[in-house]
């Protein structure tokens, strides 16, 4: 472990020195072999492909080369909210089929406005209603947002229902599960068949941005700029911060050069007169820079247990003796050696985030040198909304600008589609088991056959019926008691009285929904924070954890039987569910803070003092080192003085006494 830390220190120092010594190099990383100018360098702990620095002169032609698409999603302010695709436009000058909702390149405007007109058109840019009460919110995502994109769109829809204006800026992704046209009630829900668009429906605007990757210089991205998740890598690689591939930082180059280097996009956003930015801050400092360019107060969003380098830079310091580090998979009560390991992991996470901010700062200083560093941008966020509940996360001390808002997606269940309802009802008193591995990192095409067969054999032995989210075309010999669907109405099933158990990857949203609806869990974590969350589920007595690498039909079947037969799990989760439902909803809390920052931001008085201090300074390690040095000096002085005194006594007094005796 010590060698690993030393390697990261050496890597970070080499990268920073290279930037300081050779001003014509970016600290960003690319994976294309055509830009390699020296022998390949291994990734973090040997996991990544070869990488190298990219000469600055090759970047000038990349500015303003992004593809930008605007889609307007109708939001019904009545009983049902339904989202569907409307007109789009890209820099290829595709024409709109609907003249009442015309869009052009980078257009972000209301219906019937002249999109291409950049003059001061108040009707195109002013919010409807009272300017002091109507927020104009810009939601900014990292280059891959996963389920966070869905969560913040739900928040955006609710803001639109309440008379605010919302624009969501996302990045193009090949993950077919992230469909921005998806109805509020997905397939399998009765609401999916309801399309009731009133004439006065409001709109939530969604801007989809993609980088120019025609020469394949950026890793994990197709030539058309779509992010391609390395699902096989995520499935096959053991969860560990040591296994983070360092070439992933090449995506920072793609995001920052596109977002901060496109003058037309920035001008259009500025023309839209936003009043507040909501930024998903995981690896997303360039979006904070964009918000600063637009002069907006910032709410940060964090969709994980509250730990990691970004929260530390926002003034959320936690002692590694009590708060587990990101991807440590430890509990809050740790042994001595676990505290040692947790401290090392916390330092390693700090180094990774430091390297990430170094890459980000290069682009900020290159394209907008008047802006502060990414660390300062993180320090100056006005509020941090954490989509986690204290019922799940470990207790910890928080500064006043951090707010646990709980679950944004949790809501009462909607009626199931009649066909699915018939299947669920046919289970009788035995009930059903819901099996889903979530949105990110789980691709049926890369799941090993042995794993698929083991799961199906375990499920076939159950008395319960099973609703399995899995592409049925990728399965063989599906048992009679298993209904495999490519997409399921997860929350509606969890809210159903027939559901007895939820087998999940245990991402944050899935755990929130299961706990909210009182359903015990079996966690099979796949990657990233899912191991940390699974440990919290186990510590709270809400379920069990199985390792995907060692999962067999017997281990899965035994775990299901333990949950179904041991009523302790059900009692624990029901208790949390009852408490949770008595609290204000996560949506209400989040909306209240969006409106507060809109009206009164920036909120400097809630930012904690000392957030600019380094790790050593905050924990007074520099002071302790000084005190230790002084103590060492004092002890050394005492020892030396004692030695000199003893020597004097021996040489002068005793020697003189002996000499007198001899005489």
Cross-strand partners of 386: 302, 404
Mean pLDDT of the residues in the chain: 77
> Which band of pLDDT confidence, cut at 50, 70 and 90, is reported for residue 118?
very low
Shared domain check, 427 and 286:
no
Look at the chain and report how many structural domains it folds into.
3
Shared domain check, 526 and 599:
no
Its domain, for residue 634, covers: 620-663
What is the predicted pLDDT for the residue at 238?
Answer: 75
Tell me the average pLDDT across 630-658. Answer: 84
Task: Average the pLDDT over each of 62-76, 408-422, 434-448 and give the range with the smallest value.
Answer: 62-76
Shared domain check, 474 and 393:
no
CA distance 168 to 145: 12
Where are any strands of DSSP class E within 126-255?
136-140, 165-171, 202-210
Tokens at 358, concatenated: 């170094």
Is 171 among the domain residues? yes
Using one digit for the tens of pLDDT, what is the confidence trace for 169-213?
999 887 644 444 443 434 444 433 322 323 234 678 888 898 888
Cross-strand partners of 468: 435, 484
* Angle, helices 530-539/508-516, rounded to nearest 10 degrees: 30
Instruction: Show the CA angle centred on residue 524, arms to residues 520 and 526, nearest 5°.
Output: 135
Using one digit for the tens of pLDDT, what is the confidence trace for 374-393?
999 999 999 999 999 999 99
CA distance 127 to 163: 9
Shared domain check, 384 and 499:
no
> Residue written as tokens 């969560």?
151
Shared domain check, 423 and 385:
no
Is 49 among the domain residues? no
Using one digit for the tens of pLDDT, what is the confidence trace for 545-562?
999 888 999 999 999 999
Using one digit for the tens of pLDDT, what is the confidence trace for 244-271?
777 777 888 899 999 999 888 999 999 9
Q: What percent of the chain has pLDDT over 90?
A: 46
Shared domain check, 302 and 202:
yes
Is 248 among the domain residues? no
What is the predicted pLDDT for the residue at 49?
Answer: 28
What is the predicted pLDDT for the residue at 615?
Answer: 74
Q: Give the three-class secondary structure for 526.
A: coil
| Upper half-sphere CA count for residue 36 (Cβ side, 13 Å) | 12
Shared domain check, 310 and 200:
yes
What are the b/e assignments for 386-407, b being 16+ CB within 10 Å? bbbbebbbbebebbebbbbbbb
Tell me the average pLDDT across 482-502. Answer: 94
What is the predicted pLDDT for the residue at 491?
Answer: 93
CATH code at position 157: 3.40.50.2000
Is 151 among the domain residues? yes
| Residue 66: Cβ-neighbour burial (10 angstroms; 0-12, 13-18, 19+) | buried
What is the predicted pLDDT for the residue at 569?
Answer: 97
Q: How many whole angstroms from its chain centre is CA 452?
A: 28
- Residue from 371, 387, 238, 231 nearest 303 by CA: 387
* Angle, helices 250-261/263-271, rounded to nearest 10 degrees: 60
Is 38 among the domain residues? no
Using one digit for the tens of pLDDT, what is the confidence trace for 61-89?
333 445 677 777 777 554 333 333 232 33
No. of H helices and E strands in the chain?
21, 14
For the cut 70, the answer to whether the pLDDT of residue 614 exceeds it is: yes
What is the predicted pLDDT for the residue at 81?
Answer: 33
Is 138 among the domain residues? yes
> Which band of pLDDT confidence, cut at 50, 70 and 90, is reported for residue 520?
very high
> Residue written as tokens 């941008």?
377
Neighbours of 290 (CB within 10 A): 24
Shared domain check, 491 and 392:
no
CA distance 411 to 134: 25
Is 394 among the domain residues? yes
CA distance 203 to 100: 13
CA distance 142 to 133: 28
Task: Average the pLDDT over each of 62-76, 125-139, 205-219, 322-336 and give the range with the smallest value.
Answer: 62-76
Phi and psi at residue 400, to the nearest 5°? -70, -15
Say if CB 396 and CB 322 are below 8 A apart: yes
What is the predicted pLDDT for the residue at 31?
Answer: 30
């Amino acid at each position: 472990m010590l060698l690993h830390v030393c390697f990261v220190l050496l890597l970070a120092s080499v990268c920073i020195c290279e930037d300081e010594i050779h001003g014509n190099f970016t600290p960003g990383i690319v994976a294309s072999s055509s830009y390699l100018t020296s022998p390949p360098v291994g990734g973090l702990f040997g996991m990544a492909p070869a990488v190298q620095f990219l000469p600055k002169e090759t970047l000038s032609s990349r500015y303003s080369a992004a593809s930008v698409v605007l889609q307007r999603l109708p939001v019904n302010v009545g009983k049902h909210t339904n989202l569907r695709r409307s007109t789009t436009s890209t820099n290829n000058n595709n024409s709109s089929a609907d003249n009442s909702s015309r869009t052009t390149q980078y257009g972000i405007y209301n219906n019937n406005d002249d999109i291409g007109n950049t003059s001061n058109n108040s009707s195109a840019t002013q919010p409807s209603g009272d300017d002091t009460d109507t927020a104009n919110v810009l939601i900014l995502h990292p280059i891959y947002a996963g389920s966070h994109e869905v969560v913040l769109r739900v928040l955006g829809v609710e803001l639109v229902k309440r008379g605010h204006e919302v624009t969501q800026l996302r990045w193009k992704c090949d993950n077919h599960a992230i469909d921005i046209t998806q109805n509020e009630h997905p397939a399998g829900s009765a609401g999916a068949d309801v399309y009731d668009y009133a004439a006065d429906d409001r709109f939530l605007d969604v801007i989809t941005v993609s980088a120019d990757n025609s020469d394949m210089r950026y890793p994990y991205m197709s030539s058309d700029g779509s992010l391609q998740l390395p699902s096989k890598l995520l499935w096959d690689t053991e969860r560990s911060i040591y296994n983070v591939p360092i070439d992933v930082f090449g995506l920072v180059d793609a995001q920052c050069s596109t977002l901060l280097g496109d003058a037309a996009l920035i001008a259009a956003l500025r023309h839209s007169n936003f009043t507040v930015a909501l930024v998903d801050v995981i690896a997303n400092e360039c979006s904070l820079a964009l918000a600063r360019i637009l002069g907006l107060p910032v709410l940060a969003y964090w969709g994980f247990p509250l730990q990691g380098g970004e929260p530390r830079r926002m003034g959320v310091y936690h002692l590694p003796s009590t708060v587990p580090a990101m991807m440590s998979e430890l509990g809050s009560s740790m042994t001595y050696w676990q505290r040692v390991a947790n401290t090392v992991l916390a330092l390693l996470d700090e180094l990774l985030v430091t390297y990430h901010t170094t890459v980000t700062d290069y682009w900020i200083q290159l394209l907008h040198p008047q802006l502060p560093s990414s660390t300062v941008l993180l320090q100056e966020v006005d509020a941090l909304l954490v989509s986690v509940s204290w019922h799940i996360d470990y207790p910890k001390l928080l500064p006043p600008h951090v707010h646990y808002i709980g679950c944004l997606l949790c809501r009462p269940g909607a009626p199931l589609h009649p066909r699915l309802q018939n299947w669920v009802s046919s289970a009788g008193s035995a009930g059903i088991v819901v099996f889903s591995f979530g949105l990110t990192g789980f691709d049926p095409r890369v799941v090993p056959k042995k794993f698929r067969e083991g799961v199906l054999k375990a499920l076939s032995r159950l008395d319960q019926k099973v609703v399995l989210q899995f592409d049925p075309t990728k399965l063989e010999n599906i048992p009679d008691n298993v209904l495999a669907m490519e997409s399921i109405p997860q929350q509606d099933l969890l809210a159903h009285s027939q559901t007895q158990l939820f087998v999940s990857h245990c991402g944050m949203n899935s755990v929130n929904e299961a706990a909210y609806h009182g359903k015990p869990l079996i966690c099979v974590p796949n990657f990233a924070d899912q191991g940390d969350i699974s440990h919290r589920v186990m510590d709270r007595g809400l379920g069990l954890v199985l390792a995907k690498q060692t999962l067999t039909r017997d281990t899965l079947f035994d775990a299901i039987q333990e949950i179904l037969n041991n009523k302790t799990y059900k009692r624990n989760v029901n208790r949390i569910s009852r408490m949770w439902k008595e609290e204000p909803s996560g949506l209400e809390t989040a909306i209240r803070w969006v409106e507060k920052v809109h009206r009164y931001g920036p909120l400097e008085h809630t930012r904690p003092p000392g957030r600019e201090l380094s790790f050593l300074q905050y924990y007074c390690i520099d002071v302790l080192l000084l005190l230790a040095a002084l103590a060492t000096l004092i002890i050394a002085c005492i020892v030396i003085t004692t030695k000199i005194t003893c020597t004097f006594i021996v040489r002068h007094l005793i020697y003189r006494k002996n000499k007198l005796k001899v005489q």
